[in-house]
Amino acid sequence: MDVKINKGILSLTEGDISKQDTAAIVNAANKTLRGGGGGDGAIHRAGGPQILDECIKIGGCETGDAVITTGGQLAAKYVIHTVGPVYRDGLKGEPQLLQNAYNNCLTVASSNGIRSISFPSISTGAYRYPMEDAAEIALQAAVGYLKGHDDIELIRFVLFGAAALKTYEKKLKKLS
């Protein structure tokens, strides 16, 4: 599903974030940036040791912040690493931290001249953020950014599984 917003496109697809050919992909990382399971591990494995070397030099990332490294051997030239919140009950600042993660990734992309970016659904795996709530926050951040900025031409959400894709499609239809 693709929707035009301002001068950009917001796209939803099911797939593997590590195989995207956008200028940057987003890694839903842990605070150490040393790799982990799921998409984080897949990005580090596919991108090779250069990504980890740069992550070690950076030293870590706080929840809601974002940092950039090379894409190593990935099709994407860059990886923007962000740490989403671990979901507890939604009352410990998780919505704002998740919104910050998306907004900070987009700000890093813009400040590095990146015109296309692929996101996973941040925090909805091991960090247990409810998919419905996370999709709404993610899409509001993306739509808001595209409405206010002309520099990013494509924001793609690469979702793991048909259920996640359907949730995002339903939320996007309500927003657009």
Per-residue pLDDT at 154: 98
What the block records as the tokens of 149 is 């900025």
Q: What is the pLDDT of residue 36?
A: 84
Sign of the alpha-carbon dihedral angle for 53, 151, 63, 41: negative
pLDDT at 176: 73
pTM of full prediction above 0.85: yes
Is 133 catalytic? The answer is no
Residue ranges of domains in the chain, CATH in brackets: 2-175 (3.40.220.10)
Query: If DSSP codes are grouped into helix, strand and coil, which group holds residue 68?
Result: strand
Residue 28 CA to residue 32 CA, distance in Å, equals: 12
- CB-neighbour burial class of residue 95 (10 A; exposed 0-12, middle 13-18, buried 19+): middle
**Helix, strand, coil shares of the chain as percentages rounded to 5?**
40, 20, 35
Query: Could you say which of 40, 65, 133, 151 is catalytic?
Result: 40
Q: What is the mean pLDDT of each run of 10 residues along the chain (176 residues)?
A: 96 97 97 91 96 97 98 98 97 97 98 98 96 98 97 97 97 90
